[in-house]
Chains A and B, each alone.
Chain A
Amino acid sequence: MSITVKNIYKRFSNFNALNDVSLEFPTGKLVALLGPSGCGKTTLLRIIAGLEQADRGEIWLEGVNASKLHVRERQIGFMFQHYALFQHMNVFDNIAFGLRMKPRHQRSSESVIVKRVNELLELVQLANLAQRYPAQLSGGQRQRIALARALAINPRVLLLDEPFGALDAQVRKDLRRWLRQLHDELHITSIFVTHDQEEALEVADQIVLMHKGQVEQMGSPLEVFTQPATPFAYNFLGTVNRFEGTWQQGHLHSAGDGVHLPHQTLPAGIAEGDSVIAFARPHEVRVVPSCEQLAPHGIKAKIARILAFGPTARIELVRTHEHSSQPEYYEANIPTHEIQQLQLYEGQAVKVQPTRLQVFAA
Chain B
Amino acid sequence: MATAKTFRVLPGFGLTLGYTLVYLSLIVLIPLAAVFIKATSLSFADFWQTVTDPQVVSSYRVTFLTSLAAAAINVIFGLLLAWSLVRYEFWGKRVVDALIDLPFALPTAVAGITLSALYAKNGWIGSLLAPLGIKVAFTPLGILVALTFIGLPFVVRTIQPVLQELSLEFEEAATTLGANRWQASRYVVLPALLPAIITGFTLAFARAVGEYGSVVFIAGNIPMVSEITPLLIITRLEQFDVAGATAIAVVMLVVSFILLLVINVLQHWASSQGSRLKEGKAA
Chain A residues positioned under 8 Å from B280 (CB to CB):
85, 87, 133-135
Residue B176 interfacial (CB < 8 Å): yes
Whether, in the assembled complex, A149 has its beta carbon less than 8 Å from a beta carbon of chain B, the answer is yes
A77 to B178, CA, bound (A): 10
The answer, among A49, A84, A88, A97, for a CB contact under 8 Å with B276, is A88
* Residue B41, interface by CB 8 Å: no
Q: A87-B192, A134-B280 are in contact. Are A80 and B169 (CB under 8 A)?
A: yes
Cα-based distance from A134 to B192 in the complex (angstroms): 14
Known pairs A84-B170, A87-B192, A88-B277; A72 contacts B283 (CB<8 A): no
Task: State in angstroms the CA–CA spacing of A98 and B176 once bound together.
Answer: 8
Beta-carbon contact of A101 and B173 below 8 Å: no
For A49, list chain B residues within 8 Å (CB). 176
Q: How many residues on the A side are at the interface (Cβ–Cβ under 8 A)?
A: 28
| CB-based contact A149/B169 at 8 Å | no
Task: Tell me if B279 and A135 are in contact (CB < 8 A).
Answer: yes
Q: What residues on B are CB-neighbors of A135 within 8 Å?
A: 276-277, 279-280, 283
- Give CA–CA (A144, B20) in the complex, Å: 47
Distance, CA A102 to CA B277, complexed state (A): 25
In the complex, what's the smallest C-beta–C-beta distance from A211 to chain B, in angstroms? 26
Taking CB atoms, residues of chain A closer than 8 Å to B132 are none
Select from chain A the residue with minimum beta-carbon distance to B273: A88
- A-B pairs under 8 A by CB, number: 81
B170 proximity list for chain A (CB < 8 A): 84, 86
Contact with A along B170-187 (1 / 0, CB 8 A): 101111111110010001
Give bound CA distance, A165 to B76, whole Å. 39
Residue of A whose beta carbon sits closest to that of B190: A88
Minimal beta-carbon separation of A212 from chain B (angstroms): 26
**Are B183's CB and A87's CB within 8 A?**
no
**In the complex, which residues of chain B have a beta carbon less than 8 angstroms from the beta carbon of A134?**
276, 280
Chain A residues within an 8 Å CB radius of B276: 87-88, 133-135
Q: Would you call B277 and A71 a contact (CB within 8 A)?
A: no
Say yes or no: is B210 at the interface (Cβ < 8 Å to chain A). no
Mark out the residues of chain A between 83 and 134 whose CB falls within 8 Å of any chain B CB in the assembled complex. 84-88, 97-98, 101-102, 133-134
Verify if B123 is at the interface (C-beta below 8 Å from A): no
Q: Are B174 and A71 in contact, CB atoms less than 8 angstroms apart?
A: no
Among A49, A75, A88, A142, the one with the most B-chain Cβ atoms within 10 Å of its Cβ is A88
**Contact assessment for B191 and A77 in the assembled complex, using a CB-CB cutoff below 8 Å:** no
B122 interfacial contact with A, CB 8 Å: no
A84–B178 CB distance below 8 A: no
Give the docked Cα–Cα distance between A49 and B274 (Å).
29
Separation of A76 and B173 alpha carbons in the complex (Å): 11
**Bound state CA distance, A143 and B49, in angstroms?**
66
Within 8 A of A (CB), among B136-182: 167, 169-170, 172-180
List A142-190 residues whose CB lies under 8 Å from chain B. 142, 149-150, 152-153
**Contact status B192-A101, CB under 8 Å:** no
Query: Please, which residues of chain A bring their CB within 8 A of the CB of B94?
Result: none
Task: List residues of A whose CB falls within 8 A of some B CB.
Answer: 49, 51, 71-72, 75-78, 80, 82, 84-88, 97-98, 101-102, 133-135, 139, 142, 149-150, 152-153
12 contacts across the A-B interface (CB closer than 8 A): A72-B175, A82-B167, A82-B169, A82-B281, A84-B167, A84-B173, A85-B280, A86-B174, A87-B277, A88-B276, A101-B179, A133-B276
